[in-house]
């Protein structure tokens, strides 16, 4: 049977749209594939924009070149991919009966047999955000040049970054690291990256920012932003902060106007509802990328996950499906990573807060571990928080921060979470081990073991718990105690080695046992519990608390 030629119109020439177009053109070389893009610049890696600002990437143009140096412009897509890109043209109207789209400013109408909405997301604005040259978003290629120019001219000495999400954190580093600008981050939530992290890790993120000279104001919703001739006034908590430029980075919202006009159903998150083959509710209309919602692997609920990694994969899957191949988008857990000065911050799955809000009986463990064996000279520490469901041991989420290979650990946990793994599964994760690259027991496996211990009654307390009203049993050596005294209402010091011989001093408890990283204290708690002494221990150890306070470990 002959394959009828289809006219495919894709709206949006970014990750999802162009990935779909390019693959579809490979699979169906006879089809007419047109991509319409409202901006003049397209096919640039938006994810790289903060690193151009920071100077890590010297030439902005590299963001729109292939690894072989080819510029991904209209000529490239025409000649190499067989795809027509109409840039600087916005689809302003769709005729769903005639299957046509109207383009402006060309003022022309083009027909389609299949329509792909890859309209992405736009930067959210603050309520009442002024249109002002000094109050800017950082979302597109066009947003880069004005800020870079000002930085190069020395016109930005103090910048206000509103929002401490992904982009806000990346910008805080970019403005400070290369350009030496004073950076004030204003965040309405209690800590940075609050949508992805529980408090224990989030405070360490705040500390990294502070340690690198960024001033972070949390739990402080911005009351107003007023642009003046030569500065901006950002009002928070009744006070005004004077900055040269305010960059608003308060998240993104899906671009769904065309979808709505086409009668396409939106889901509960406000993004386009699609099935697992990226079909919308309207026949011959498909959607992919930041404008759609997908299924969460743990909750089963729709959620929005505006990530380039997913948009690219969805574009490819959509091309496969449109070409008649069997392919699906699986549910996701939202694995992501952020560079924060020397640290990596990575996370996936639910926070404990989110899991509890879902009615899941979530529990946590915290470990202070290393990315290689601890005796390797370049070994780096990491703080890792694992969230799991009580009793079943189902792994719900992971969050970690450190200078070493944090992302690798979150990637491993992510794959297991996607399979519905339990703590027992994580304990048995097979991983590559040699001293320069990993410990024999990898941090993810150790966290799972700690979780299993906790299910047996070796209870960990959150690292930031108040110790004011507890009896603390410090099982460290004297020199460790001197270097970092445990701040608690009442402290009995007894190195782990002396526990058995000094059992008589311990009565029946309850004790909170503490050591440097949580390892020795967990061991002590098991023994004490076996002796009938009530005891729990400080998860992550005193080191985690010290990091949270900004003390050098």
Ligand X SMILES: Cc1cc2nc3c(=O)[nH]c(=O)nc-3n(C[C@H](O)[C@H](O)[C@H](O)COP(=O)(O)OP(=O)(O)OC[C@H]3O[C@@H](n4cnc5c(N)ncnc54)[C@H](O)[C@@H]3O)c2cc1C
Cβ 313 to ligand X, closest distance in Å? Answer: 10
CA distance readout (Å), 503 to 153, 336, 488, 492, 506? 69, 47, 21, 12, 6
Q: Looking at beta carbons only, is 312 or 372 nearer to ligand X?
A: 312
Hey, what are 66's tokens?
């292939």
Using the rule CB under 6 A, is 11 a contact of ligand X?
A: yes
> Pick from 10, 21, 24, 121: which binds ligand X (CB under 6 A)?
121
Q: Looking at beta carbons only, is 91 or 396 nearer to ligand X?
A: 91
> Pick from 9, 21, 49, 333: which binds ligand X (CB under 6 A)?
49
Using the rule CB under 6 A, is 255 a contact of ligand X?
A: yes
> Pick from 10, 46, 183, 203: which binds ligand X (CB under 6 A)?
46
Cβ-count burial 351-389 (b if 16+ within 10 Å, e if not): bbbbbeeeebebbbbbbbbbbbbeebeebbbbbbbbbbb
- Parallel/antiparallel/unpaired status of strands 232-236 and 490-493: unpaired
> Pick from 110, 118, 333, 362: which binds ligand X (CB under 6 A)?
118
The whole-angstrom separation of Cα 167 and Cα 200 is 21
Using the rule CB under 6 A, is 306 a contact of ligand X?
A: yes
> Pick from 206, 298, 307, 461: which binds ligand X (CB under 6 A)?
307
Q: Looking at beta carbons only, is 115 or 365 nearer to ligand X?
A: 115
> Pick from 9, 28, 32, 37: which binds ligand X (CB under 6 A)?
37
Using the rule CB under 6 A, is 519 a contact of ligand X?
A: no
Query: How open is the CA angle 202-490-453, to the nearest 5 degrees?
Result: 55
What backbone torsions phi and psi does residue 536 show, to the nearest 5 degrees? -135, 175
Interface residues for ligand X in 81-110 (CB under 6 A)?
90-91
Cβ 302 to ligand X, closest distance in Å? Answer: 16
Cβ 4 to ligand X, closest distance in Å? Answer: 26
The whole-angstrom separation of Cα 279 and Cα 292 is 10
Cβ 14 to ligand X, closest distance in Å? Answer: 3
- Parallel/antiparallel/unpaired status of strands 292-295 and 272-273: parallel
Using the rule CB under 6 A, is 309 a contact of ligand X?
A: yes
User: Residue 136: which of 257, 245, 5 has the closest Cα?
Assistant: 245
Q: Looking at beta carbons only, is 117 or 488 nearer to ligand X?
A: 117
Alpha-helix runs per DSSP H in 419-494: 423-427, 443-455, 478-483
Cβ 138 to ligand X, closest distance in Å? Answer: 6
Binding to ligand X by CB under 6 A, coded x per residue (else -) over 142-171, reads -------------------------x----
Describe the crossing of helices 406-418 and 443-455 by its angle, rounded to 10 degrees: 60
Q: Looking at beta carbons only, is 136 or 139 nearer to ligand X?
A: 139
Binding to ligand X by CB under 6 A, coded x per residue (else -) over 284-303, reads -----xx-------------
CB 30 within 8 A of CB 130: no
Using the rule CB under 6 A, is 139 a contact of ligand X?
A: yes
Using the rule CB under 6 A, is 120 a contact of ligand X?
A: yes
Q: End-to-end CA distance of the chain, in Å?
A: 70
Q: Looking at beta carbons only, is 87 or 235 nearer to ligand X?
A: 87
Mark the segment that binds ligand X (CB under 6 A) among 14-22, 223-231, 352-360, 488-496.
Answer: 14-22
User: Residue 126: which of 273, 289, 253 has the closest Cα?
Assistant: 253
Provide the β-strand partners of residue 386. 365, 398
> Pick from 15, 335, 355, 401: which binds ligand X (CB under 6 A)?
15
Cβ 106 to ligand X, closest distance in Å? Answer: 11
Count the site residues for ligand X by CB under 6 A. Answer: 34
User: Edge-to-edge, what's the strand order for the sheet holding 471-474?
Assistant: 460-461, 535-538, 511-514, 471-474, 490-493
Using the rule CB under 6 A, is 138 a contact of ligand X?
A: yes
Radius of gyration of the chain from its Cα atoms, rounded to whole angstroms: 26
What backbone torsions phi and psi does residue 48 show, to the nearest 5 degrees? -90, -10
> Pick from 10, 36, 383, 486: which binds ligand X (CB under 6 A)?
36
Using the rule CB under 6 A, is 407 a contact of ligand X?
A: no
Cβ 277 to ligand X, closest distance in Å? Answer: 17
CA distance readout (Å), 408 to 75, 83, 121, 256, 324? 38, 36, 28, 35, 35
Residue numbers at the binding site for ligand X (CB under 6 A)? 11-17, 36-39, 42, 46-47, 49-50, 90-91, 118-121, 138-139, 167, 255, 258, 289-290, 306-309, 311
């Amino acid at each position: 049977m002959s394959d009828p030629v289809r006219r495919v119109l894709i709206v949006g020439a970014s990750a999802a749209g162009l990935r779909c177009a390019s693959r579809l053109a490979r699979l169906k070389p006879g089809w007419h594939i047109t991509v319409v893009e409202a901006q003049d610049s397209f096919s640039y890696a938006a994810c790289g924009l903060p690193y151009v600002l920071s100077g890590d990437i010297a030439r902005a143009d590299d963001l729109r070149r292939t690894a072989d140096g080819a510029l991904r412009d209209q000529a490239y897509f025409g000649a190499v991919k067989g795809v027509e890109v109409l840039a600087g043209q916005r689809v302003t109207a769709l005729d769903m009966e005639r299957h046509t789209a109207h383009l402006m400013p060309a003022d022309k109408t083009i027909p389609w047999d299949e329509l792909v909405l890859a309209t992405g997301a736009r930067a959210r604005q603050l309520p009442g955000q002024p249109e002002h040259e000094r109050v800017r978003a950082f979302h597109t290629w066009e947003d880069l040049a004005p800020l870079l120019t000002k930085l190069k001219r020395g016109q930005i000495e103090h910048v206000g970054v509103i929002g401490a999400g992904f982009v806000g954190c990346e910008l805080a580093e970019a403005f400070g690291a290369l350009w030496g600008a004073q950076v004030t981050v204003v965040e309405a939530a209690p800590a940075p990256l609050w949508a992805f992290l529980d408090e224990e890790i989030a405070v360490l993120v705040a500390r990294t920012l502070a340690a690198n000279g960024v001033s972070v104001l949390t739990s402080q919703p911005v009351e107003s932003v007023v642009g003046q001739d030569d500065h901006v006034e950002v009002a928070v908590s009744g006070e005004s902060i004077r900055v040269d430029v305010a960059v608003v980075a308060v998240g993104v919202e899906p671009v769904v106007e065309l979808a709505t006009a086409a009668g396409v159903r939106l889901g509960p998150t406000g993004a386009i509802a699609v099935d697992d083959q990226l079909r919308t509710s309207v026949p011959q209309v498909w959607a992919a990328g930041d404008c759609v919602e997908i299924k969460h692997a743990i909750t089963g609920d729709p959620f929005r996950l505006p990530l380039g990694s997913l948009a690219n994969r969805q574009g490819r899957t959509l091309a496969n499906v449109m070409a008649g191949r069997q392919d699906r988008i699986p549910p996701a857990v939202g694995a992501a990573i952020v560079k924060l000065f020397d640290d990596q911050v990575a996370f996936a799955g639910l926070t404990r807060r989110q899991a509890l809000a879902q009615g899941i009986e979530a529990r946590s463990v915290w470990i202070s571990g290393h990315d290689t064996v601890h005796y390797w000279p370049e070994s780096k520490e990491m703080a890792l928080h694992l969230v799991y469901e009580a009793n079943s041991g189902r792994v719900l989420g992971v969050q970690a921060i450190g200078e070493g290979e944090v992302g690798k650990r979150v990637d491993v946990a992510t794959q297991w979470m996607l399979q519905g793994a339990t703590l027992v599964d994580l304990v048995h994760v097979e991983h590559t081990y040699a001293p320069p690259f990993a410990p024999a027991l990898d941090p993810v496996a150790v966290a799972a073991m700690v979780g299993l211990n906790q299910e047996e009654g070796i209870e960990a307390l959150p690292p930031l718990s108040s110790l004011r009203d507890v009896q603390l049993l410090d099982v460290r050596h004297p020199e460790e105690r001197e270097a970092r005294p445990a701040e608690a209402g009442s402290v009995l010091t007894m190195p782990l080695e002396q526990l058995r011989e000094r059992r008589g001093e311990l009565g029946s408890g309850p004790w909170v046992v503490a050591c440097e990283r949580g390892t020795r204290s967990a061991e002590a708690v098991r023994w004490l519990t076996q002796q009938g002494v009530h005891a729990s221990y400080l998860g992550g150890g005193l080191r985690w608390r010290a990091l949270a306070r900004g003390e050098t470990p």
